Structure 1
């Protein structure tokens, strides 16, 4: 069962880690490329701030973004800002998300995210946790997938494996880190591909952060995953 209160606390802790690490940057390094193609570190920080506000919209019953174009233009607008402005924006928007998350609400209700995707309100804090943790890695400032909390890594693998489950373009695939196992892709009407590796390597592949070269594959080639 999802514990949104626990996840809100995890979001707060993850945000504090990110802000502490990012505070060691300077204006020049904020303008340098991140690990995301076409995005500087400033783009990543701007996205984190705008995403917090967007999830406040979701929790308060408004559209997540006015449009995809508006989302992208807001990130482009905010990306060139100085480090102090970026950090203040991430901090302030995160505080608004926390305040909204701690207000009395029906956490069993269904909310709408981008592109018509719906989910339980109780899962929104975990979705924000994923944004903060993965984009901290994307900043390329020393925080790696191996540094992610073990609980988060396992739950995000659960989430992404479920997301690709039943996808017609992904063959039946069994994932294991040697202790736990997940299944994803089409239903197993054909032999499964077995993918083995550490939990961080599995997460990196599923989340599009690593190419899968750190994984062992049997029964076929490593599946190409659709974009998130």
Structure 2
């Protein structure tokens, strides 16, 4: 069940964790490459800040971004800023999002994100939580998938497994964590490929992070290639 109150509290914790980690960097580290192809850490930090503003727009019933081009231009223009400016932007944009969330009076309504995607308003805090947590990993500064809270690992695996469920370009896949949790994704027909591994490794495969499934057991079958998110 979606619990936006719990998720907002988790967003605060994840944001504080990110701010504490980023504050230990210097201007040179901000300019270095992140784990996302073509993006420096400055690009990624700017994106996290602009995502907070974009989700605030969503909660207010406004377009998430003016346009895809404007979104990309904002990230490019902010990428080269020094550490102190990046930190201030991260903190202030996060505060604005929390202020907007605090004014929401109907969390049951449907909201619109990018490209016409719709979701329940109550799921926006979870979307923000995964954005902050996964991009913290993408910074490549010592925070890894294995450091994510276990509850978040399971919920994000569940979310991505559902997102790929029924996808014609993905065979039937049974995803089994070493702790016994299990999910199903891909096509409903055909013999299922069984992937077994730790929850961080499974999330790495589903989210395109880390070694992208290289450590998973497949029972001898080839590792299925995931379609684009």
Provide the TM-score with structure 1 as the length reference. Answer: 0.98
Q: Are 2:11 and 1:6 aligned?
A: no
Q: Following the alignment from structure 2 to structure 1, what is the Cα–Cα distance between the partners of residues 217 and 68?
A: 37
Q: Following the alignment from structure 1 to structure 2, what is the Cα–Cα distance between the partners of residues 18 and 146?
A: 15
Q: Following the alignment from structure 2 to structure 1, what is the Cα–Cα distance between the partners of residues 111 and 215?
A: 37
Q: CA deviation at 1:56?
A: 0.3
Q: CA deviation at 1:220?
A: 2.6
Q: Are 2:82 and 1:89 aligned?
A: no
Structure 1 stretch 205-214 or stretch 133-142: which is displaced more?
205-214
Q: Are 2:88 and 1:113 aligned?
A: no
| 1:57-101 superposed Cα distances (whole Å, 9 cap, x missing partner) | 000000001111111111001000000000100100000111111
Secondary structure, in 3 states, of the residue corresponding to 2:183?
strand
1:136 alignment counterpart = 136
1:199 alignment counterpart = 199
Q: Following the alignment from structure 1 to structure 2, what is the Cα–Cα distance between the partners of residues 59 and 27?
A: 33
Give 5+ residue unaligned stretches, structure 1.
none
- Equivalences for residues 3-152 of structure 1 within 5 A: 3-152=3-152
Q: CA deviation at 1:219?
A: 6.2
1:185 alignment counterpart = 186
Secondary structure, in 3 states, of the residue corresponding to 2:218?
strand
Q: CA deviation at 1:223?
A: 1.1
Q: 8 Å contact 2:133–2:148 — kept in the other structure? A: yes
1:227 alignment counterpart = 228
Q: 8 Å contact 2:174–2:185 — kept in the other structure? A: yes
Q: Following the alignment from structure 1 to structure 2, what is the Cα–Cα distance between the partners of residues 158 and 46?
A: 28
Q: Following the alignment from structure 1 to structure 2, what is the Cα–Cα distance between the partners of residues 117 and 104?
A: 20
1:216 alignment counterpart = 217
Q: CA deviation at 1:222?
A: 1.1
Q: Following the alignment from structure 2 to structure 1, what is the Cα–Cα distance between the partners of residues 98 and 123?
A: 14
Secondary structure, in 3 states, of the residue corresponding to 1:217?
coil
Secondary structure, in 3 states, of the residue corresponding to 1:70?
helix
2:161 alignment counterpart = 161
Q: 8 Å contact 1:109–1:121 — kept in the other structure? A: yes
Q: Following the alignment from structure 2 to structure 1, what is the Cα–Cα distance between the partners of residues 213 and 24?
A: 31
Q: 8 Å contact 1:192–1:219 — kept in the other structure? A: no
Give 5+ residue unaligned stretches, structure 2.
none
Provide the TM-score with structure 2 as the length reference. Answer: 0.97
Q: CA deviation at 1:109?
A: 0.2
Secondary structure, in 3 states, of the residue corresponding to 1:161?
helix
